[in-house]
Homo-oligomer: A and B are copies of this chain.
Amino acid sequence: MTAKRDTSRDGFKNKLETAVLTGFKPIWNFIQSNPGLARKVNKTLTNNAILKIPTRPYPFSTMSPYTSWDSLIDRTYSGLQLPPLDWKPLTNENYIGINLTSAEKFEKNLPPIQDLEILYHKIGETKYSPKSSLIFPYFVQWFTDSFLRTDRHDPLRNSSNHHIDMCNVYGLNPKITHLLRSYEGGKLKSQILNGEEYPLFYYDEDGKPKEEFRGLPHLYTDESTPKAETFPPEKKQKLFAMGLEVERANVQIGYVMLNVLSLREHNRVCDLLTKNYPTWDDERLFQTARNIVMAEFLKIVLEDYINHITPYHFQFFTDPLAFTDEKWYRHNWMSVEFSLVYRWHSMLPDTFIYNGQKLPMPASMWNNDMIINKGLGAIFEESCSQPAAQLSLFNTPEFLIPTEIASIRMGREAKLRSYNDYRELCKYPRITNFNQISSDEKVQKELQRLYGHVDNIELYVGLYAEDLRQNSALPPLVGRLIGIDAFSQAFTNPLLAESVFNPETFSPIGWEEIQNTKTLSQVVHRNIPQGKKYRVSFYREDWQPV
């Protein structure tokens, strides 16, 4: 079933870049061992990742097929990295030098959406990622959910704050934050269960929403969304009150694990601050602890997480003050494209292991007993001891196939241009043959049957049809688009700005905590019963680079 992929359209510069970054290990080790040189290289590589496409502000959003004042400032519409299909150029038929696929022809030739379901159904066994543990997709779903917030009623709109602001922990707006705060010692409301700290339950003992959480949103969008009210009592009773919609914040065990971890870290930092700054009131303790925890998680994203994604020898590190003069340092704006490159549904396997037992993945949804009974450290370790599935076509669990189809529909409603147009935007040559996208004959054949011509492939399908890059967690175009936005919208967090990222903002003791945080594992170990040691890593235990 696996043929060779024709790499002639990978682009010479891209191949060279990969060869340099994945070869010459001793040279990279030398660079890494020299702090001054490492800083320069870190900056150069980060800029190189971002500057593949023109920088924000984007001239287009989902508001209109031309630029208006409102479209330039109203971020409830999502950004667009290329003009939409209904854009009618006034000056040049091409766009920033890109020979765009004919919009009329492209839209006319799109296959019916339901025909594309076949691309997601498994053929036989689940393909597993050779590199990533299950905590990797858990983490991704959780952290992207704080800034990729497409409106479920209107895929052209979003409810994002456009920052990694940990709104899943702290609430999407100050009104929700208010409901979650204990107003004592800066802490978030919490309870102790089996000797460990958790958020409060949303429902009282009679199954009614607690009065103190009135105003916490629900996710009642359409018939297909399950309503917390209707859950079986044993699940419903254990739903936590956290920053986002009750159904969303409790959706899956990975999501809950990371929320619980963040809450514990917040309350732990509060204790630390109280000890060091005994005169501070609750408000200052809360606000400063929040800033510290956000900066810690930004570091985890920019180091632990990013370095897992890339196949490079060089390990990126967080040096935010290196980027003050960069043209990409612009007001954040989440785009439709960024939302689509972060839909890693196929990375969730059909089954997972809990307490050594194989369970169907849906059993991990709205099932907080899993964490309460096992404890945070142990469930992190067990999640890290099993592989994620591989990000690719023909590998999505059945229960997520409707979500794949919804993603394709979203791309069409947003009038996104073709996969080949986005390749060109990202400095990859346009492919001319289906055997240039994937080595998998099944993928090649099905794409050919469905789309007829490579220019007709739509972005969402093309993104995940590509072979993974060697030693990378991601296929090339997904990796490139994520590199652009992950760096250019994380380093622009105001907490990392030149006048803000300092001990005065975070307090000297908080600053030290931030400096001492590089990995998710560190934060887990600060927040579990003392003396316990668990393996927490985005990597599979048995991973070996090729």
* B73–A494 touching, CB < 8 Å: yes
Interface of A is mostly: loop
Task: Evaluate contact between A72 and B329: CB separation under 8 angstroms.
Answer: no
C-beta contact mask, A495-507 vs B, less than 8 Å → 1, else 0? 1011110111101
A493 to chain B: closest residue by CB: B72
Chain B residues within 8 Å of A327, by CB:
324-325, 329, 498
Partner of A70, one of B287, B324, B331, B495: B287
A90 to B279, CA, bound (A): 12
A247 at the interface (CB under 8 A from B): no
* CB closest residue in chain B, given A284: B66
State the Cβ distance, A488 to closest chain B Cβ, in Å: 14
Q: CB-CB contacts of A142-181 with B at 8 A, as 1s and 0s? A: 0000000000000000000101010000100010000000
* Cβ of A158 to closest chain B Cβ, rounded Å: 16
Selecting from A56-64, A188-196, A260-268, A451-459, the interface stretch reads A56-64
Q: What are the interface flags for A509-545 relative to B under an 8 Å C-beta threshold, 1 for contact and 0 otherwise?
A: 0000000000000000000000000000000000000
Q: Does A89 contact B (CB under 8 A)?
A: yes
A385 at interface, CB cutoff 8 A: no
Determine if B326 and A504 form an interchain contact, defined as CB atoms under 8 angstroms apart.
no
Q: Which residue of B lies closest to A63 (CB)?
A: B287
Asked if B72 and A494 sit within 8 Å, CB to CB, the answer is yes
Cβ of A72 and Cβ of B325 under 8 Å apart? no
Alpha-carbon distance A58/B284, docked complex (angstroms):
18
Task: Count identical subunits in the complex.
Answer: 2
Q: Once the chains bind, are B498 and A54 in contact (CB under 8 Å)?
A: yes
A69 at the interface (CB under 8 A from B): yes
Task: Give Cα A90 to B276, complex, Å.
Answer: 11
Count of chain A residues near B, Cβ 8 A = 51
A-B contact pairs, 26 of them (CB 8 A): A54-B498, A54-B499, A55-B324, A55-B499, A57-B497, A57-B499, A59-B499, A59-B505, A64-B284, A66-B287, A67-B500, A67-B504, A68-B288, A68-B290, A69-B170, A69-B291, A70-B174, A72-B495, A89-B504, A90-B277, A90-B503, A90-B508, A91-B502, A91-B503, A91-B504, A91-B508
Give every chain B residue within 8 A of A326 (Cβ-Cβ): 325
**CA separation between A70 and B172, bound complex, in Å?**
11
Q: Which residues of B contact A389 (CB under 8 A)?
A: none
B55 touches A498 (CB 8 A): yes
Give Cα A411 to B67, complex, Å.
Answer: 39
When each residue 266-310 of chain A gets 1 if its CB lies under 8 Å from chain B and 0 otherwise, what string results?
Answer: 000000000001000001100110110010000000000000000
Name 5 extra pairs, CB < 8 A, besides A57-B497, A66-B284.
A69-B495, A71-B287, A89-B504, A324-B327, A329-B329
Binary CB contact string for chain A from 80 to 99 against chain B (1 if under 8 A, 0 otherwise) = 00000000011110001000
Contacts of A66 in B (CB 8 A): 284, 287-288, 505
Chain B residues whose CB sits within 8 angstroms of the CB of A72 once the complex forms:
494-495, 500
Q: How far is the CB of A504 from chain B (nearest CB, A)?
A: 5
CA gap between A124 and B499 in the complex, in Å: 47
Q: Determine whether the beta carbon of A505 is less than 8 Å from that of B57.
A: no
Kindly list chain B residues whose C-beta atoms are within 8 Å of the C-beta of A329: 327, 329-330
Closest to A276 in B: B90
In whole angstroms, how far apart are the Cα atoms of A55 and B174 in the complex? 27
Find the B residue at minimum CB distance from A495: B72
Chain B: CB-nearest residue to A170: B69
Residues of B within 8 A of A330 (CB): 329, 497
- CA distance in complex: A287, B63 (Å): 12
**In the bound complex, CA of A329 to CA of B327 (Å):** 8
Q: How far is B68's CA from A502's CA once the two chains are assembled, in angstroms?
A: 13
Most B CB contacts (10 A, CB to CB) among A54, A174, A287 go to: A287
